Amino acid sequence: MGSNDFINILGYKIYKKTLKECMEKIKTFEKVHIISGNPEVLYTGLHNKVLLENFKSDKALIIPDGVGIQISAKILKTPVEEKIAGIELMREILIDCENTGKGIYLLGSSEENLNACIVNLVRDYQKLNIVGYKNGFFDMENPKEILEEITMKKPYVVFVAMGCPRQENFIVKYMDILPTKVFMGVGGSFDVIGEKVSRAPKWMINIGMEWFYRVAKEPWRIKRLGSIPRFLYLVISKKRVK
């Protein structure tokens, strides 16, 4: 992979170019785990040996998703060209799959929200080839039926919407044995697509305040924000050491 396409934050290679260029970069992988690089996910990786090994491997593509990563990049004086939100990259992949006929598999969320997501995907991407789907409530250690279905259907991409770190654990555990090129953890994206949860207004997204909107709507999320200052502290500490 071209080193000029990435910046280094705490040993992670973070993609630094545009969303459009990211779509082209995905095509260069034989098999890829797309990671929405926000402080929560990357901080979790620092404390999980299995995830960390995958996140730093040649199979990983970490996108700069989240204001904490943008701030970190600026602190290190290696800014990214633009924020790439996971749901926006997911939508670009959906468009590509609709245009090319490549299959997708949806794994995660509740049964109700997953079904709502599928209804809206069929509405918005009428030629999209959805080869299978399953909600996120299953035994992670023995998902035999899911693995068999994915193996049989051979989707181009598997979107996993089970939150961090469950979705990343699933991908890391099974990506090498499944005949799929693209694996992507997408958090609450099924709920957003299914219109069960709304994204922040565009102006809030543009100024990096989407996190505030989400916490206002779902106050329980405030506990997860602790990873942002912890991650930034590590970035600043490492910078000073150098």
Of 123, 151, 118, 120, the closest CA to residue 135 belongs to 118
pLDDT tens, residue by residue, 33-61: 999 999 999 999 999 999 999 999 999 99
Residue 242 pLDDT: 46
Q: How confident is the model at residue 224 (pLDDT cuts 50, 70, 90)?
A: low
Instruction: Answer yes or no: are the C-beta atoms of 136 and 108 closer than 8 Å.
Output: yes
Indicate whether 160 belongs to any domain: yes
Distance CA 175, CA 53 (A): 14
Indicate whether 3 belongs to any domain: no
pTM of the model: 0.91
Indicate whether 231 belongs to any domain: yes
User: Who has greater pLDDT, 218 or 73?
Assistant: 73
For tokens 């997501």, the residue is 117
Burial group, residue 225, by CB count within 10 angstroms (0-12, 13-18, 19+): middle
Residue 110 pLDDT: 97
- Strand-pairing partners, residue 209, are none
Residue 5 has pLDDT above 80, yes or no: yes
Residue 203 pLDDT: 67
Of 81, 65, 105, the closest CA to residue 7 belongs to 81
Task: Work out how many domains the chain is built from and give that number.
Answer: 1
Indicate whether 4 belongs to any domain: no
pLDDT tens, residue by residue, 120-138: 999 999 999 999 999 999 9
pLDDT tens, residue by residue, 70-102: 999 999 999 999 999 999 999 999 999 999 999
- H or E, element range at 64: strand 60-64
Indicate whether 1 belongs to any domain: no
Q: For residue 119, give its domain range.
A: 11-241
Distance CA 76, CA 99 (A): 39
Residue 139 has pLDDT above 90, yes or no: yes
Q: In what order do the strands lie in the sheet with 12-15?
A: 6-9, 12-15, 60-64, 32-37, 182-185, 157-161, 103-108, 129-134
Indicate whether 5 belongs to any domain: no
Residue 240 pLDDT: 58
Q: How do beta strands 32-37 and 60-64 pair?
A: parallel
Indicate whether 29 belongs to any domain: yes
Rounded to an integer, the average pLDDT of 158-181 is 97
Indicate whether 224 belongs to any domain: yes
Residue 227 pLDDT: 80
Distance CA 87, CA 186 (A): 7
Q: How confident is the model at residue 156 (pLDDT cuts 50, 70, 90)?
A: very high
Distance CA 92, CA 118 (A): 17
